[in-house]
Structure 1
Amino acid sequence: MLQEASVTGFVRTLLIILLIYFGIKIIGRLLTPFLMKYVSKKAEQRFGDQFGQFQNRGQREKPAKEGEVTIDKMPKTKASNKDVGDYVDYEEID
């Protein structure tokens, strides 16, 4: 039982595919601004939450007394290798 494809069936399928393609394209253009607003609001909220953590950290710590020194972060110590080479003093010759 072999069926042949008709020209009208092919044209109908082609029109349905084009209709779906252009429908998605139009709906995408209509929904893109709303999607961008949603994404930007979420990003702004995340950045605000992270910024709020830094602001609240200063309020949680007890205030330092006058004249007291506090170190928030220790500097990284760089290990230098003294056996790198010899220092050669030179003189300019005119």
Structure 2
Amino acid sequence: MQTSGFNTIIETILFIYIFYYVFKFLAKLFLPLLVKKVVEKAGQNFQQQQQNAQNTTWGKTKNNDEVIIDTANAKKSRETKKVGDYVDYEEID
């Protein structure tokens, strides 16, 4: 069993210091590439979803040649609901 000493503490701190700077260096190298890949993949997914949406929309309108317009609702006038009375407030000096 080893006892902790000054040398062991220094070695641990040195190991953490080296690991931190190696990780920081590798992150500068590979993180931009990783972000670029993720953005490209998201763009491809977005384009694919848009194409699928357009294809399904165009597919539905191509098959339906008949257009039905409901004029019964267009002739009815809409009434506004009366919720309450208007109360005029005056300022008091």
TM-score grouping bracket, smaller chain normalisation: 0.5 to 0.7
Tell me how many residue pairs correspond in the alignment.
76
- Report deviation, 1:4: 4.3
TM normalised by structure 1 equals: 0.63
Percent of aligned positions that are identical: 32
Equivalents in 2 of 1:33, 1:4: separation in Å?
44
Aligned-pair distance for 1:7? 1.7
1:39 alignment partner in structure 2: 38
Partner of 2:65: 64
Aligned counterparts of 1:23 and 1:11: Cα–Cα separation in 2: 18
Distance 1:40 1:69 in 2: 44
Indicate the structure whose relative CO is greater, using CA pairs within 8 Å and at least 6 residues apart. Answer: 1
Structure 1 or 2: larger helix share?
2
Q: How large is the Cα RMSD of the aligned pairs?
A: 2.8
> Which blocks of at least 5 consecutive residues in structure 1 are unaligned?
71-79, 88-94
TM superposition score normalised by structure 2:
0.63
Per-residue displacement from partner, 1:2-61 (whole Å, max 9, x unpaired)? Answer: x64222221111111101111111111111111111110111012112111221023312
Unaligned runs of 5+ in 2: 70-78, 87-93
Please give the residue correspondences for 1:6-85 in structure 2 after superposition, counting only pairs within 5 Å.
Answer: 6-61=5-60, 62=63, 64=65, 68=67, 82-85=81-84
